Amino acid sequence: MYQQVGKMAYKASLSTPEAIDRYFGHPHRVFRSVHVAGTNGKGSVSHMLAAILQEAGYRVGLYTSPHLKDFRERIKINGACISEAAVMDFVNRYWVQLESEQASFFEMTTAMAFDYFARQKADVAIVETGMGGRLDATNIIRPALSIITNIALDHTEHLGDSPALIAREKAGIIKPATPVVVGECGGDTSAVFVEVARAQQSPLYFAEREVCVELAYAGKDGQSFRCVCRHSPATTREFTLDLLGDYQQANLRTVLTAIDCLRYAVAPPFRIPTEAVRTALRQTARLTGLLGRWQVLAERPLTICDTGHNAHGLRRTFGQLTAIPHRQLHIVFGVMADKDLSPIIPLMPREARYYFTQAAIPRALEADRLAARCIAAGLYGEPFESVDEALATARRHAGTDDIIYIGGSSFVVAEVV
């Protein structure tokens, strides 16, 4: 399991997923799909799209990773997790075959998801890549639309050590004559997407050029944005999101571009009324069960957790945290042992008090080693062997006008939501 042991579990090949897919009779071909890759934002974009399509009347499968509390979070139909009975039935039926193929945990789970969506007669599935794109186990599907949210340095040991190399791996999900939406990109990465899309004869839409999104209101219960689409510049629409976090502005732009593609650039087109978009975005978390994205756990002191775990995501997170009025900032922080801390530590607020910790999985970096690196760089804090102990100590030290933040890793967040 990559979730448990990291890079030793990574398989850079599609031969096993393709063999398993043949054995199951290509179940993903009986429903339409949207394929979502990217360094950050995949989960939020996938859940918003699932909520919108569900509200538009479709039966929607949703396949995401990793899970936070329960394995079954990875596979959902209309927001409901796959049942324990369905998981056990799949394993009991197909374990011998999957073992004979030497399938990885993620390959098995992907096969389970596609089989489940087909059996449950899903109309469409939102399928999130596990890592990268080109060699990801999900990249056997034939989607109606491909989405690449953004590119940043993460998993460089597998995907490459530059944005352009990582972009090329993510661009591996672009299929022939299939529209592709790119949420955010820079000069080097945009050139990669243009090159690959042209070679595949795939229509390419850069969300930053398609939709203008401006913040209208931000509060503790949601945020509203004024949006103008390029194809209807005279019309301004306002959408309210129940998902918090400044980074949702870019994710919303990607989602709205994707919705327009599903309406007008694919055949047959999807029927998605604007009111369904508006209603779904107001209740994405409730409709889909999304957890851990700028999630407010308590009000006094304000206690927030977020699954951002690389420099690209944490830069936005720490920027938003420090902009909120507060007396003292307390940060419960843990990372995985294979995480490159060199671009992250300079982003960490110097005025915060840190509670360095480790998630209860083998991949976690020991709290004392994390503390030593960060304290040597000028941060103030102490190590704690468990997330519970770190958070309990932060709560004892925090006043009502303080902020407590829990993050650094999805696995740290999983222990508090």
Is residue 345 a contact partner of residue 356, using CB atoms and an 8 Å limit? Answer: no
Q: Cα(263)–Cα(270) distance, rounded to whole angstroms? A: 5
Per-residue pLDDT of the chain (417 residues; tens, 9 = 90+): 445 555 555 566 799 999 999 999 999 999 999 999 998 899 999 999 999 999 999 999 999 999 999 999 999 999 999 999 999 999 999 999 999 999 999 999 999 999 999 999 999 999 999 988 999 999 999 999 999 999 875 555 556 558 888 999 999 999 999 999 999 887 788 999 999 999 999 999 999 999 999 999 988 789 999 999 887 776 789 999 999 999 999 999 999 999 999 999 999 999 999 999 999 999 999 999 999 999 999 999 999 999 998 898 899 999 999 999 999 999 999 999 988 999 999 999 999 999 999 999 998 999 999 999 999 999 999 999 999 999 999 999 999 999 999 999 999 999 999
Give 129's contacts (C-beta < 8 A, 6+ positions apart): 35, 36, 37, 42, 136, 138, 139, 173
Domains parsed from the chain with CATH numbers: 2-288 (3.40.1190.10), 295-414 (3.90.190.20)
pTM value surpassing 0.85: yes
Q: Cα(37)–Cα(104) distance, rounded to whole angstroms? A: 20
Retrieve residue 208's tokens. Answer: 């930053």
- For residue 9, give Cα distances in angstroms to 2, 102, 106, 151, 359: 5, 12, 9, 23, 19
DSSP for residue 365: P
